[in-house]
Structure 1
Amino acid sequence: MKRPNVPAVREFLQQQWLRCKPLAARGWHHVRHPTRRGAALAAAAVPALFLLYVLLLIPFTPSISDIRKAKVEQPAQILSADGKLLAEFKPTHREWVALSDISPHVVNALIATEDHRFYEHHGLDWKRTASAAVHTFSGDRQGGSTITQQLARNLYPDEIGRAPTLTRKLKEAITAFKIEALYTKREILETYLNTVPFLYNAYGIEMAARTYFDKSADELDVVEAATLIGMLKGNSYYNPVINPERAVERRNIVLAQMAKRGVLDEARVRTLQRRPLRIDFERQTEPPGPAPHFAQQLRKWLIGWADRHNYNIYADGLVVRTTIDARLQAMATQALNRQGNQLQSIADAAWSPRNGWRENPALVQAFVRETPEYRAERDAGQTPEAAMKHLLADSQFMQNLRQTKTRVQAGFLALDPRTGEIRAWVGSRDFTQDPFDHVQQARRQPGSTFKPFVYGAAFVKGAKPDDTLLDQPVEIPLAGGEVWRPTDDTPPSNKPMTLRDGLAYSRNSITAQLMQTVGPSRVVGLARAMGVRDSKLEAVPSLALGTSPVSLREMVSAYGTIANEGRYHTPLMVTRIEDPHGNVLAEFAPSAPERALSAEDDYTLLSVMREVVNRGTGSLIRSRFGIRADVAGKTGTTQDNADGWFILIHPQLVAGAWVGFNDSRVTLRSDYWGQGAHSALPIVGDFFSRSLRARIVDPNEKFQAPDASHWYDGWFTRSRDWVVGLFASKPAPPPKPAPKRVAPPPDTPASAASESEVTAPIFGASDVNAPAPDSGVAAPWPVPVSPYPSDAPGSSEAPAYTPAPPISPAPSISPAPSMPPAPASDDTRPNS
């Protein structure tokens, strides 16, 4: 790069200064020796510039329409598909109450303390503002905001801000004037008292009264009202819970102000000031609603939609109609909680202080090092050893840590495979304790629930369910000279096994060999096409056993592709958005189906997955829950029983569950309960059995085999018949009537009829009493008793279960004669 010519630049700047020097000299002369006209112009310029600055700020303050909406809270209402309220999207945790439902002591205390000329000004108290400015310039800062100005700050903290600058004060004043022009004084008071914060996630006077005094706002007495109004000067500083002395002092000042303004008698005030502070504190928690995790995901999407279409989800009264079925959502929540509580008792025993917790000291110390308490000890100067010793000796800390780490978690999702509409969504056992969503946010290894993608890719490539592979030890070389050796719970039989049996009994050795034949890239491509589109999939051989973490939502939507004849639908949450008057603002139809598998290959995969629940690792669906509908599915368990999965598909509904712990280093420590067939399957089985009994899902609906005929078949048949008819010979004349038969002698058997009396069967037809080839008619299985007493036939809680007619699954292929019996409890874990 060429360096600049420094002398030339310096000479240029000197020339410019010589040109400007006379102008600067004249300007400085006018400043030192002003004329009357110049002084007048200068004096007029200051307010003119100030007014211009104010005018420039007006567009940066809240609009008239926004201010109109603020005085009437109209949060978006989220409704289920059957019209039940799921959630309301409020900006804060508050309950709006009318001014008539607020104790008059609150209003009197507010006006007497914060703005005693409230009914006299129009948003700005000029006397108070001037007084505050004088005190501020003299070094004693004072506030001069009116109630209307404070309301402006509370309603629009982002647009106005709280910085102590002239710009902020001007924005606040402009907004206050707008509010005064649009609101009556009563509306200002009502809006202010419903929007002011009171700590502990309590907004508005109603939530404050419940939080600090366990009563409604209309029941507050004068002392309680003064206590709450006193907090407005500084919520934390005058917090009656942690700073009771300051709160009493501030309360008494408020009472004195009420006496000064003539609201209270001075003698009564002196009596009230001697009262002790009686606080009945209880945090107010917002009800999570029947589908809290679904509502949280929907809120994120709705905010974006509202911003793009110029709506406010907190003030415009939007009505959002979702795809959730309230009945199925309740069934899913109950099933997950029931199974979660049972597994929690097992986890508590396995990780009690005398068992698993004491047997894993290295893991427990790792948990301690990850806590904020340990980091605080280290920041305070403690050595690692001293910090660890101190925390391990803290029994309360260790108990809380153990309960947090060993709390069983679960996720559940159900959707309609025909449209992708989500019917039930449960993200955790308890939203208030664990708001983390295990359906959308969590990424966990899917284990053997990933195997259908391997088998599906093999069927696409031409494999058949009855093809066999040798059940033998497998060694697969990897990059870097490593060797992957997948194993099963039972030793290999070294005998041929069909692909149908390999998936039904979830044999890792068979799946690993199949992965070698198909190739990891093909499996990744198919999984992506079927619905696993957000998580990263490693195209390595161990992917066959589900080693790449995925979300439950992806897996259930991918299984929905199997249930929908190989066509994928994007999961759908919302069907319609309306305004408060019922006018439709937007409608959302299911996405266009995307073909991931041909109908023939998809039905082949489906028929093999039927065997999982008919006689394989998912057979508890039949034997324990008595589900006789046409269903298919797959279990999944990851290494060391860290994750349990089960997904079940039906023509009208697909449901899947995951069970585990937030920290994958924690497991149920049980080879039985840790399996997906015993941890996740009962959730899905309970849910499906109830939905079938309630007839929300049709138990008689069946998967339809694809039509093997083609569009040209009919044309070909008609053309053939025309050609045959064209060259056919003339029909022969009708035969003469046969002579009348004579009955055989009595000793002649009836079966000994003459050959002329035997009618030849029509070509292609079969005996109506004999089963058609490949009909798939299965023998009916016994219906077990429901595991829950209230669901037994004749119970008052649920209708008696009526067995469905036998289904028509794909033909069952028996295992090879030499194959040892495989365990039907659950699939085995990958050995990656």
Structure 2
Amino acid sequence: MLSLLAVRLRPHLRPRTLLLLPALCLLYVIVLIPFTPGIRDIRKAKVDQPAQIYSADGKLLAEFKPTHREWVSLKQISPNVVDALIATEDRRFHEHHGIDWRRTASAALHTFSGNRQGGSTLTQQLARNLYPDEVGRSQTLTRKLKEAITAFKIEAVYSKDEILETYLNTVPFLYNAYGIEMAARTYFGRSAGQLDVLESATLIGMLKGNSYYNPVINPERALDRRNIVLGQMVRFGHLAPATLDALKKRPLRIDFERQTEEPGRAPHFAQQLRKWLIAWADDHDFNIYSDGLLVRTTIDSRLQSMAMQSLMWQGNQLQSIANAAWGGRGGCANANGDLARAFVRETGEYRAARDAGANDADALKHLVADRSFMRTVCENKTRVQAAFLALDPRNGQIKAWVGSRDFTQDPFDHVQQARRQPGSTFKPFVYGAAFERGAMPTDTFIDQDVTIPVAGNETWHPTDEAPPSGRPVSLRDGIAYSKNRITAQLMQTVGPARVARLARNMGVRESPLDEVPSLALGTSPVTLKEMVSAYGSIANDGNYMEPLLVTRIENRQGDVLAQFDSTPERALSVDAAHKLIDVMRDVVNRGTGSTIRTRFGIRADVAGKTGTTQDNADGWFILMHPQLVAGAWVGFNDSRVTLRSDYWGQGAHSALPMVGDFTQRALRSHLIDARARFDLQAPPGAWQTAVTRLRDWIDQTFGKSSKPTAPKPGQTATQKPVRVKRAPAEPEAQVTEEAPQQPPVFQTMPPLLPTASDAASEAPASAP
């Protein structure tokens, strides 16, 4: 009964149904429009507008691109590429408005008959490539409709040439090569404008399936596909038919080379900045790859170049020493067999041999006998590494940042990522904590054997290169000559907890510090960035300034979006900071860092500290100038490897030359003022200022001015004497004015026992 009724009603419903279906389809399309990219997004996506990173002196340091791509205009692309693309992918490209209805209908018929074909135009493919998240990639009707809507929008905004240019610059070609320019360089070693017909056909042929038609690993498939593209070019009038047979017989002639991104002027700095900028952009609704941000950094490109040159110069010399120490290139097996075998056991080749069933002896014997393998292992392990950082202590702005000897060889950043024992460069925190408690540079300790009890019924016995003299040594001499026994006794007096707290306040804020007596000699690993930042606090009258990477961020129109500066935080009293600078001057005037004066001829007002760790695994030196603090670290990625020299392994001979050469260059270039001096005069207090003003008022009011005085030579009777603020004497001749002598506070104070928080002591660091 129901079926009979349906048959009778069907002719009456047919016209309504025919009208209803298009209406429903149209409604569905309208519903999908808000879920496709808007016109504003499409305008932004026409070309990449990556964040551009500029130095403080206006030099381009880097561009943050999402992929390895170099944008070229359509005029810079060979016409052969465009002809091959249109003939193969969209022959009616210049006739349609985003969708080729004839091709779409033909593809649908073939698909329904079991022969699946694609009907997307270049504009639709571009929509899918630019907006994979919004359009999607699933083979559904919804995805095709979104793709078509987006294609219409693109055609409404851009010309055909602009669409072709954008398409060719955004399509992927494997091996991290995006766009036709990088593809041309990767597969043929030339630019996109130099591609001939065969090369153009090969690259366009890859678009059907990059991996399947990869000319590097599937040359036969790539050749067949290239010839199909050539046939299409002939069919649609882009190539003369007479040339086809000859062209098809030509080989591929691939000249493959992976393209590497240029490291730039400050690659490690840019690497760290990218992380920071991504977080900032996410918080403020910006995209570092497309919003055209202009980032003004604190780096000075001139100082950056000097730092890289100094590090390369000294690093190469140290590498020669390391090669000799380890038996020449690839000779670590001869220099230290046990350690070389340990290196081998850590390789993937050794693990593969063991997984294949070889025992330890056989795997080692086979690999050690492979000279090429051992050369690679030894060169990697015995490659000298170094890091360098310089900042302005007055505002915390980082001026130079070098994270390794060669970014392309070792992108690991030894400035911020590597934590190494600082050795004696940590000692200023001990002396600073003592000066904070009232100690004077003239206070003394006896140079004698020291045994300090630590937790677990153990003792710590710090030593120096020279045996104990039994004589009193002042704190000034203790830091100048980096006396471990004197520093250890001072540590007993002030306590590890107080020293660790001061180090954190001054800049060592990320690395954990073990509050044990041996902390005095730098046994807790820290980063170079933390140490240079902390020395900046010393140079800045005890005020900590957070290290600054960026001064401001602008949009592409030059409008300022954000500005950044550091706020001073009191970490050490002014008086203690001045005492610390004064005694650290002696390090470079006559102590372990004296080659700053004797070898590099630096006469400016500077102070610093050397540092060396156990077995000479790490060499450090940090130098303070009123306008610039610079520090260097030297070592190996594997701390088991050292320079194997008691001379070259010391920070005074490994790291100091980098800082000395850099500072010498900066002074000669007048990027820092050779006449600048640390102002070690304490500012007058409020009471002293008031008394001085009152005295001046009394002098002016009650008679001193009523009695004319004879003019001084060269001064007329109408001139008034001018009070001139004299600069302090040169560092070598400076005399520090001390308070009246009192019994040394720290000599008479009994040593403090370790607190309950003291853990087991680590091995002491060697004296630099």
The TM-score bracket by the shorter chain reads 0.7 to 0.9
Q: 1:316 to 1:778 in 2, by over 3 A?
A: closer
Q: Does 1:416 align with 2:352?
A: no
Q: Which runs of 5+ in 1 are unaligned?
A: 1-27, 735-771, 781-805, 814-827
Q: 1:778 to 1:265 in 2, by over 3 A?
A: closer
Task: Give 1:377 shift.
Answer: 4.2
> 1:66 is matched with which residue?
41
CA distance in 2, matches of 1:434, 1:31: 82
For the aligned residues, what is the CA RMSD?
A: 3.4
Deviations 1:200-232 (A, max 9, x none): 332221222222222222221111110111122
Deviations 1:417-455 (A, max 9, x none): 011111111111111111111111211111111111111
> 1:509 is matched with which residue?
485
> 1:572 is matched with which residue?
548
Task: Give 1:719 shift.
Answer: 7.3
> 2:580 is matched with which residue?
605
Secondary structure of residue in 1 paired with 2:609 = strand
CA distance in 1, matches of 2:129, 2:93: 17
- Counterpart selection for 1:205 from 180, 188, 203: 180
Task: Give 1:187 shift.
Answer: 0.9
Taking the TM superposition and a 5 Å limit, the aligned residue runs for 1:533-612 are: 533-588=509-564, 590-612=565-587
Task: Give 1:670 shift.
Answer: 1.2
Q: Is the 8 A contact 2:522 2:765 kept in 1?
A: no
> 1:114 is matched with which residue?
89
Q: Does 1:124 align with 2:124?
A: no
* AA aligned opposite 2:486: I
Q: Does 1:250 align with 2:225?
A: yes
CA distance in 1, matches of 2:735, 2:95: 83
Q: Does 1:174 align with 2:149?
A: yes
> 1:702 is matched with which residue?
677
Q: Does 1:636 align with 2:611?
A: yes
Q: 1:165 to 1:690 in 2, by over 3 A?
A: same
Q: 1:716 to 1:105 in 2, by over 3 A?
A: closer
Task: Give 1:121 shift.
Answer: 3.0
Q: Is the 8 A contact 2:297 2:552 kept in 1?
A: yes
- Counterpart selection for 2:304 from 329, 332, 336: 329
Q: TM-score, normalised by structure 2?
A: 0.86
Q: Is the 8 A contact 1:149 1:173 kept in 2?
A: yes
CA distance in 1, matches of 2:505, 2:680: 22
Q: 1:132 to 1:535 in 2, by over 3 A?
A: farther
CA distance in 1, matches of 2:109, 2:355: 45
- Counterpart selection for 2:625 from 646, 650, 663: 650
Deviations 1:116-172 (A, max 9, x none): 232233333344445545655666554333222222233234444545455544443
CA distance in 2, matches of 1:810, 1:277: 83
> 2:383 is matched with which residue?
407
Deviates more, 1:282-291 or 1:706-715: 706-715
Q: 1:480 to 1:31 in 2, by over 3 A?
A: farther
> 2:600 is matched with which residue?
625
- Counterpart selection for 1:431 from 407, 415, 437: 407
Taking the TM superposition and a 5 Å limit, the aligned residue runs for 1:375-524 are: 375-379=351-355, 383-524=359-500
Taking the TM superposition and a 5 Å limit, the aligned residue runs for 1:278-357 are: 278-351=253-326, 352=328, 356-357=332-333
Task: Give 1:509 shift.
Answer: 1.5
CA distance in 1, matches of 2:7, 2:635: 85
CA distance in 1, matches of 2:538, 2:6: 89
Deviates more, 1:613-622 or 1:72-81: 72-81
Secondary structure of residue in 2 paired with 1:682 = helix
Task: Give 1:492 shift.
Answer: 2.1
> 1:229 is matched with which residue?
204
Q: Does 1:214 align with 2:189?
A: yes
Task: Give 1:301 shift.
Answer: 2.1
Aligned residues: 721
CA distance in 1, matches of 2:491, 2:388: 29
* AA aligned opposite 2:401: W
Secondary structure of residue in 2 paired with 1:480 = coil
Q: Is the 8 A contact 2:621 2:656 kept in 1?
A: yes
Task: Give 1:276 shift.
Answer: 1.5
* AA aligned opposite 1:118: F
Q: Does 1:712 align with 2:687?
A: yes
- Counterpart selection for 1:664 from 639, 663, 678: 639
Secondary structure of residue in 1 paired with 2:489 = helix
Q: Is the 8 A contact 1:357 1:364 kept in 2?
A: yes
CA distance in 2, matches of 1:635, 1:42: 89
Q: 1:175 to 1:546 in 2, by over 3 A?
A: farther
Q: 1:157 to 1:725 in 2, by over 3 A?
A: closer
CA distance in 2, matches of 1:57, 1:297: 41
CA distance in 2, matches of 1:605, 1:379: 58
Deviations 1:665-698 (A, max 9, x none): 2211111111111111000000001111111111
CA distance in 1, matches of 2:466, 2:110: 86
Q: 1:392 to 1:718 in 2, by over 3 A?
A: closer
CA distance in 2, matches of 1:49, 1:386: 75
Deviates more, 1:574-583 or 1:498-507: 574-583
In percent, how many aligned pairs have the same letter? Answer: 69
Secondary structure of residue in 2 paired with 1:558 = helix
Taking the TM superposition and a 5 Å limit, the aligned residue runs for 1:38-187 are: 55=30, 57-132=32-107, 141-164=116-139, 168-187=143-162
> 1:16 is matched with which residue?
none
Q: Is the 8 A contact 1:630 1:808 kept in 2?
A: no
Q: Is the 8 A contact 1:506 1:617 kept in 2?
A: yes
CA distance in 1, matches of 2:399, 2:18: 71
Q: 1:600 to 1:38 in 2, by over 3 A?
A: farther
Q: Is the 8 A contact 1:98 1:190 kept in 2?
A: yes
* AA aligned opposite 2:153: K
Task: Give 1:700 shift.
Answer: 1.0
Q: Is the 8 A contact 2:50 2:64 kept in 1?
A: yes
Secondary structure of residue in 2 paired with 1:179 = helix
Task: Give 1:609 shift.
Answer: 0.8
**Structure with bigger gyration radius:** 1
* AA aligned opposite 1:637: T
CA distance in 1, matches of 2:172, 2:612: 48
* AA aligned opposite 1:268: T
Q: Is the 8 A contact 2:585 2:606 kept in 1?
A: yes
Q: Is the 8 A contact 2:68 2:178 kept in 1?
A: yes
Q: Is the 8 A contact 1:337 1:429 kept in 2?
A: yes
- Counterpart selection for 2:335 from 333, 344, 359: 359
Q: Is the 8 A contact 2:297 2:549 kept in 1?
A: yes
CA distance in 1, matches of 2:14, 2:524: 78
Q: 1:269 to 1:326 in 2, by over 3 A?
A: same
* AA aligned opposite 2:184: A
